[in-house]
């Protein structure tokens, strides 16, 4: 019996508040200010109602169901929240709160005519549908919420209808997400056939499946959820859509929306019988290739938000690596390592939600202040936007897994899981684990390149354009929205025991009887850090002492090695910064398409140099594939001549064929 | 507590001597008299009392970079055992922290360099970031080899198992020698020595680390020099820990450890005297080769 019957009702209340925040602004008509206030109040109140409920579920590990009536249909609108769902609900509510707070000034909504009502409608519907996807107790509610989530986020991506790039990105997103959803329909229909019910609770029957049947389900879930999660190589829509959407929507999509797909994948894994070991290996392989691919491209993008979006592909790769290794270690009999990998993957879900939304919101502030997303047109922003700059730096250090921030903790867990498994295994199997660890270390180095490029060029140096020179600090509400995830990042990094303790209940659902990661390997969090603190204090005091003694003599320009009039045009740009890695290390895969005139004639005319970054997987695999499909469809199109007599002939021929068939059999 | 003080004493006291030894070795080979061995101590003393010049472009991060670059090697020294003296700070998985701590230092050094807005600093920063991509996996594989040999996850136990004579047993000997060789190459690359970088050149276009810190002056520059020397000591200590057997007599072992550190510095000096700096495009190839070599060491261990 649930100890606190009100917790799930709080979640329900949150969803209802979101819906109220969606519908009421539409009813406000011309009174845009009222619409804005109502929309924002709905989002904030819903998030505040949901947060304690999710936390309560995580702490107690209880499961609660609720079935509000759905009049007129036989379908049950069933919600169920357990610790695993709560684990994913917590970042949803937290980030909806931050993003709603941020949107207030970011879109300048009060002054924007009809946009406010539309924005809040889709924003709140997205928030409600994300909570519903995670809380759904049967596949009908899940799929409906899933579709609503896809559509509302699509409308948010194309929020700026005048932007052609946004429309194209939205179209790509719409197509990709529906292709993925088709696989999910297949998955849930097949489950319905086997289980005879739509309820998730009846899916326990699937545990009796033969391995081949389980594989089909796993493949469907992998493709369906992988598309939404941005799993390599199905990630193609992600960089475009996340770059084009308004920044707080990018933060919400990148931070939590794609995580709901991971929730779906994990939830399906709890229904299935133990999978063969190679499934885990496949998932881990896709994960690590995605993270290498994503971060290599993140270091090459000229667009600030696109670079962040590619880094999302990388982080999803790391999470999938952790999940895949959990499956693999579990299947090959390394429960301790499996627990570490799963804990690392789950914690990275939270961590990525926090620091990626922080970075997207920071990028949004830069876009808001300067009007451009091109890294090479920014620069000198740490001086002009000091607080945003510090918050961005915190996010950057967290995403590069640098201590003492949260990214380090989750990567440490995955490393330890990998190496522990590698220690216990023998021969080739051990080598696989060690190779994954080394590749993860390689990713770590590449992240540093991408992040220093992103932050160093935009924040440091002189402004590289007029737009950047006129930048201004963001408003307090935007800063507060960024400070919340930044503080949580720091908190998780300094006191990782707290989130690890919260992980225990979801892990018990995913891997019943799995050991506590802290019990497998004594983690460093209770080591004696007092000496270190003392030492750091001493060093800081020493630094301050030196600083006080010496008088800085400001007012000079940067030393230009003898050149007396350095200008901002001489500074390193984003393209220059990654050029060396691009040419010498990354190989031919991620190279941009460069258009330049062949040669100089006798009379040099105006010359144009153009570089275009298209996603290599999209450009080389998917585009040709879909173009071929379109060609095939075009060929078939000839059958549809549009003349009645020809259609009658078809009908006649079909009838003759059927008659002949029935005679023969 | 003894270990804590011993480590601090070694890192603060001995580190500035190593660049002096390298310079003296090079001078002797070149037939010059060379600077005094204690040159860096004097430089630091002088720099710490100087005023400094700050560019109008720079912000607080320009001044935070040197301080973090100074603090990180000190913390690293607490994690790494120095021969017979066990690391005062040790826990499961501390080697991951060790690697990522230096990532933190690199992060801030690079940002401080980019904060100047100069093309020279940008160039150095880009190269530093690019090479670190290739160096990091090598260190990691070296640590994984040690984990595999020792069966433990803390630097103390990892290096301790090696010191107690496991070097001589046949299956591990070859991969340990390979690891030590790879770590020596990493030492050269990480500390910007020839053949990767020439710390003495004044041709900005060819430099990596030196060009990143061109704009620092006074005490900030002193902190950078001190931090670099400490990083050199730590890299050398890793190689020494792998190769030096332990007798059990603390005083003897400690003396041997310090002597071996100086020998590594002499070896670096010899390499610098014998080789020219590589062309910049050859550097990634050498580093990738080193990574593959360390993988080879791992495979030898696993077979």
DSSP letters, A209-269, are: --HHHHHHHHHHHHHHHHHHHT-TTS-THHHHHHHHS-HHHHHHIIIIIHHHHHHHHHHHH
Across the interface, of B4, B122, B151, the residue whose CB is closest to A423 is B151
Tell me the DSSP string of A337-382: HHHHHHHHHHHHHHHHHHHHHHHHHHHHHHHHHHS--BGGG---HH
- B9 touches A at CB < 8 Å: no
Residues 6+ apart with CB under 8 A from A10: A49, A50, A52, A53
Residue from A288, A337, A413, A434 whose CB has the most chain B CBs within 10 Å, to mutate: A434
B118:A570 CB<8 A? yes
Alpha-carbon distance of A456 to A375, in angstroms, equals: 10
**Low-confidence spans in chain A with pLDDT less than 70:** 1-5, 69-75, 109-114, 518-528, 554-555, 563-566, 596-601, 604-605, 607
Q: Indicate whether B15 pLDDT > 90.
A: yes
**In angstroms, how far is the first alpha carbon of chain B from the final one?**
41
HEC per residue, A640-652:
CCCCHHHHHHHHH
DSSP of B73-110, one letter per residue? HHHHHHHS-BTTB--SS--TTHHHHHHHHHHHHHHHHH
Which of A347, A341, A349 lies closest to A323 in space, CA to CA? Answer: A341
Q: Which residue of B lies nearest to A527 if distances are taken between CA atoms? A: B91
Residue B277: both structure tokens together:
């700096």
Q: Name the DSSP letter for residue A588.
A: S
B56 vs A contacts (CB less than 8 Å)? 554-558
pLDDT in tens, A43-82: 999 999 999 999 999 998 888 888 776 666 666 778 899 9
Domain boundaries along the sequence of chain A: 333-522+572-587
Chain A stretch 405-464, residues whose beta carbon is closer than 8 A to a beta carbon of chain B: 408, 411-412, 415-416, 419-420, 422-423, 426-428, 430-431, 434, 437-439, 441-442, 444-446, 448-449, 451-453, 455-457, 459-462
Closest by Cα among A134, A140, A149 to A93? A134
pLDDT reported for residue A4: 47
**Contact with chain A for residue B190, Cβ under 8 A:** no
Phi, psi of A594, rounded to the nearest 5 degrees: -110, 130
- Beta-strand pair A79-81/A64-66: antiparallel
On average, the pLDDT of chain B sits at: 89
CA angle A375–A379–A380, rounded 5-degree value: 160
Residues listed for chain B: 303
Contact at CB, A430 and B302, closer than 8 angstroms: yes
Backbone angle region of A72, left / alpha / beta, with phi > 0 → left and psi within -120 to 50 → alpha: left
Model pLDDT, residue A25 = 87
Q: What pLDDT score does A446 carry?
A: 94
Name the one residue in this structure whose structure tokens are 């072992």. B253
CA-nearest of A555, A625, A557, A616 to A589 is A616
Q: Are B223 and B62 in contact (CB under 8 A)?
A: no
Angle subtended by helix axes A258-271 and A83-106, to nearest 10: 170
Using alpha carbons, select from B84, B45, B124 the residue that is nearest to residue B257.
B84
List the end-to-end C-alpha distance of chain A, in Å, as a whole number. Answer: 60
User: Quick one: pLDDT at residue A347?
Assistant: 95
Please enumerate in sequence order all residues whose Cβ is within 8 A of that of B160, keeping only pairs 6 or more positions apart, or say none: B81, B86, B150
DSSP assignment, residue B204? G
Angle at B78 between CA B73 and CA B79, to 5 degrees: 95
Locate B231 and state its tokens.
């990083």
Contact (CB<8Å) A581/B110: no
SS3 A35: helix
Facing residue for B96 by CB, picked from A415, A535, A547: A415
**Which two three-digit tokens encode residue A137?**
């107790």
Q: Best of A442, A546, A565, A575 to disrupt the B interface by mutation (most B CBs within 10 Å)?
A: A546
Cα angle A149-A155-A159, degrees, rounded to a multiple of 5: 140
Q: Give, in order, the Cα–Cα distances in Å from A474 to each of A291, A326, A393, A518, B290.
A: 32, 42, 16, 41, 47
Which of A143, A433, A471 has its CA nearest to residue A284? A433
Q: Do B116 and A460 touch (CB under 8 A)?
A: yes
Q: What are phi and psi of B173, to 5 degrees?
A: -60, -45
Q: How far does the CA of residue A297 sit from the closest CA of chain B (Å)?
A: 14
The helix (H) or strand (E) run that includes residue A594 is strand A593-595
Within 470-529 of A, beta carbons closer than 8 Å to B belong to 521-524, 527-529
* Chain-chain contact of A444 with B302 (C-beta, under 8 angstroms): no
- The structural domains of chain B, with segments of one domain joined by +, span 2-302
List C-alpha distances in Å: B20 to A356, B207, B262. 45, 20, 10
For A378, nearest residue in chain B (alpha carbons): B117
- Nearest residue to B210 via CA among B219, B220, B200, B218: B200
Report d(CA A469, CA A378) in Å as an integer.
8
| pTM as predicted | 0.94
pLDDT, residue B209, reads 84
Residue with tokens 């990661």: A517
Structural tokens at position B21: 């030894």
| CA diameter of chain B | 60
Residue A138 per-residue DSSP state: B
- Those of residues 165-204 in A touching chain B at CB distance below 8 A are none
Rounded Cα distance between B96 and A408, Å, is: 9
Contact B70 A539 (CB under 8 A): yes
CB-nearest to B93 from A400, A412, A585 is: A412
Q: Quickly list H helices, A550-643.
A: 574-584, 616-617, 623-637
Question: Using 50, 70 and 90 to split pLDDT, how confident is the model at B204?
Answer: low
pLDDT in tens, A395-440: 999 999 998 899 999 999 999 999 989 888 887 888 899 999 999 9
pLDDT at A5: 57
Closest CA of chain A from B31, distance in Å? 31
Q: Is A343 exposed, middle or buried (0-12, 13-18, 19+ CB in 10 A)?
A: buried
Query: Cα–Cα distance between A34 and A662 in angstroms, integer?
Result: 68
In the structure encoding, which two tokens stand for residue B149, read together?
Answer: 């040999």
Q: Is A296 left (phi over 0), alpha (psi -120 to 50) or beta?
A: alpha
- Test the A interface: residue of B129, B136, B197, B293 with most A CBs within 10 Å: B129
Residue B144 touches chain A, beta carbons under 8 Å: yes
Structure tokens at A116: 């406010």
- Chain B residues with CB inside 8 Å of A528's CB? 89
Q: If you average pLDDT over residues B1-10, what whole number do you get?
A: 89
Window 533-552 of A: residues touching B by CB (8 A cutoff) are 535-536, 539-540, 543, 546-547, 549-552
Check CB contact of B129 with chain A, cutoff 8 Å: yes
A292 CB within 8 Å of a chain B CB: no
Q: For residue B111, what is the nearest residue in chain A, using CA coordinates?
A: A456
pLDDT tens track for B62-114: 989 999 999 999 999 999 999 888 888 888 888 999 999 999 999 999 999 99
CA atoms of A398 and A405, how far apart (whole Å): 5
Q: Which two tokens stand for residue A192?
A: 């319905």
Q: How far apart are CA A455 and CA A428, in angstroms?
A: 40
Is pLDDT larger for residue B214 or for residue A440? A440
Structure tokens at B134: 């290739």
């Amino acid at each position: 019996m649930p100890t606190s019957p009100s917790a799930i009702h709080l979640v329900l209340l949150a969803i209802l508040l979101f819906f109220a925040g969606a519908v009421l602004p539409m009813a406000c008509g011309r009174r845009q200010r009222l619409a804005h206030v109502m929309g924002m109040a709905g989002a904030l109140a819903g998030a505040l109602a949901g947060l304690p409920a999710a936390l309560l579920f995580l702490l107690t590990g209880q499961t609660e169901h609720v079935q509000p009536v759905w009049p007129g249909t036989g379908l049950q609108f069933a919600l169920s929240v357990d610790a695993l769902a709560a684990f994913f609900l917590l970042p949803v509510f937290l980030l909806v709160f931050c993003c709603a707070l941020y949107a207030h000034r970011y879109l300048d909504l009060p002054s924007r005519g009809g946009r406010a009502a539309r924005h809040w409608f889709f924003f709140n519907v997205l928030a409600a549908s994300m909570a519903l996807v995670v809380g759904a107790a049967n596949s009908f509610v899940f799929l409906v919420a899933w579709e609503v989530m896809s559509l509302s986020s699509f409308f948010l991506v194309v929020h700026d209808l005048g932007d052609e790039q946004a429309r194209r990105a939205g179209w790509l997103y719409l197509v990709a997400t529906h292709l993925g959803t088709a696989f999910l329909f297949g998955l849930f229909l097949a489950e319905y056939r086997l289980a005879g019910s739509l309820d998730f609770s009846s899916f326990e029957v699937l545990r009796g499946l033969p391995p081949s049947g389980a594989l089909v389900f796993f493949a469907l879930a992998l493709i369906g959820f992988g598309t939404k999660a941005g799993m390599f190589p199905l990630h193609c829509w992600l960089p475009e859509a996340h770059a084009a959407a308004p920044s707080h929507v990018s933060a919400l999509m990148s931070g939590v929306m794609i995580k709901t797909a991971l929730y779906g994948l994990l939830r399906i894994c709890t229904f299935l019988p133990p999978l063969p070991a190679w499934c885990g290996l496949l998932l881990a392989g896709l994960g690590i290739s995605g993270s290498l691919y994503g971060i290599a491209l993140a270091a090459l993008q000229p667009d600030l938000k696109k670079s962040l979006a590619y880094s999302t592909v990388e982080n999803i790769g790391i999470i999938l690596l952790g999940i895949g290794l959990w499956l693999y270690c579990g299947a090959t009999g390394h429960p301790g390592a499996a627990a570490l990998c799963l804990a690392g993957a789950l914690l990275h879900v939270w961590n990525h939600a926090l620091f990626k939304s922080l970075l997207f919101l920071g990028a949004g502030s830069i876009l808001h202040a300067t009007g451009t997303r091109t890294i090479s047109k920014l620069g000198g922003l740490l001086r002009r936007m000091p607080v945003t700059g510090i918050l961005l730096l915190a996010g950057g250090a967290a995403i590069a897994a640098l201590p003492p921030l949260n990214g380090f903790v989750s990567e440490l867990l995955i490393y330890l899981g990998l190496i522990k498994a590698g220690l216990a295994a023998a021969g080739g199997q051990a080598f696989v684990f060690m190779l994954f660890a080394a590749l993860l270390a390689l990713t770590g180095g590449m992240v540093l390149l991408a992040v220093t490029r992103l932050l160093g060029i935009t924040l440091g140096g002189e402004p590289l354009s007029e737009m950047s020179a006129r930048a201004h600090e963001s408003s307090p509400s935007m800063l507060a929205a960024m400070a919340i995830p930044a503080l949580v990042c720091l908190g998780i990094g300094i006191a990782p025991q707290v989130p690890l303790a919260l992980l225990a209940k979801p892990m018990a659902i995913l891997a019943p009887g799995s050991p506590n990661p802290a019990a497998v390997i004594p983690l460093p969090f209770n080591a004696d850090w007092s000496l270190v603190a003392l030492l750091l204090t001493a060093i800081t005091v020493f630094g301050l002492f030196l600083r006080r003694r010496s008088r800085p003599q400001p007012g000079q320009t940067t030393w230009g090695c003898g050149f007396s009039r350095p200008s901002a045009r001489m500074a390193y740009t984003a393209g220059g910064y990654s050029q060396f890695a691009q040419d010498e290390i990354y190989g031919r895969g991620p190279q941009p398409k460069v258009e330049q005139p062949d040669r100089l004639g006798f009379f040099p005319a105006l010359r144009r140099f153009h570089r275009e970054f298209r996603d290599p997987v999209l450009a080389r695999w998917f585009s040709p594939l879909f173009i071929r499909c379109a060609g095939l469809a075009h060929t078939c199109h000839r059958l549809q001549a549009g003349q009645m007599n020809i259609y009658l002939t078809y009908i006649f021929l079909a009838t003759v064929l059927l008659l002949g068939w029935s005679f023969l059999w | 507590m003894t270990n804590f003080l011993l480590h601090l004493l070694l890192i603060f006291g001995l580190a500035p001597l190593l660049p002096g030894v390298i310079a003296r070795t090079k001078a002797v080979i070149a037939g010059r008299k060379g600077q005094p061995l204690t040159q860096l101590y004097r430089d630091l003393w002088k720099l710490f009392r100087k005023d400094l010049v700050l560019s109008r472009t720079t912000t607080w991060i320009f001044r935070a970079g040197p301080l973090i670059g100074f603090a990180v090697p000190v913390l690293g020294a607490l994690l790494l055992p120095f021969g017979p003296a066990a690391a005062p700070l040790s826990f499961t998985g501390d080697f991951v922290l060790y690697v990522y701590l230096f990532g933190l230092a690199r992060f801030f050094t690079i940002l401080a360099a980019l904060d100047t807005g100069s093309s020279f600093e940008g160039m150095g920063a880009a190269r530093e970031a690019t090479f670190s991509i290739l160096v990091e996996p090598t260190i990691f594989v070296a640590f994984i080899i040690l984990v595999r040999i020792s069966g433990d996850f803390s630097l103390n136990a990892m290096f301790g198992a090696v010191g107690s004579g496991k070097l001589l047993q046949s299956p591990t000997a070859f991969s340990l020698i390979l690891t030590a060789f790879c770590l020596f190459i990493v030492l050269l690359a990480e500390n910007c020595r020839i053949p990767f970088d020439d710390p003495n050149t004044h041709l900005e276009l060819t430099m990596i680390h030196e060009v990143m810190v061109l704009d620092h002056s006074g005490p900030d520059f002193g902190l950078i020099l001190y931090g670099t020397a400490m990083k050199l000591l730590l890299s050398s200590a890793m190689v020494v820990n792998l190769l030096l057997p332990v007798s059990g007599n603390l005083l003897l072992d400690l003396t041997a450890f310090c002597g071996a550190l100086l020998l590594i510095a002499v070896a670096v000096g010899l390499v610098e005297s014998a080789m020219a700096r590589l062309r910049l495009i050859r550097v990634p190839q050498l580093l990738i080769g080193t990574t593959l070599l360390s993988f080879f060491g791992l495979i030898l261990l696993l077979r």
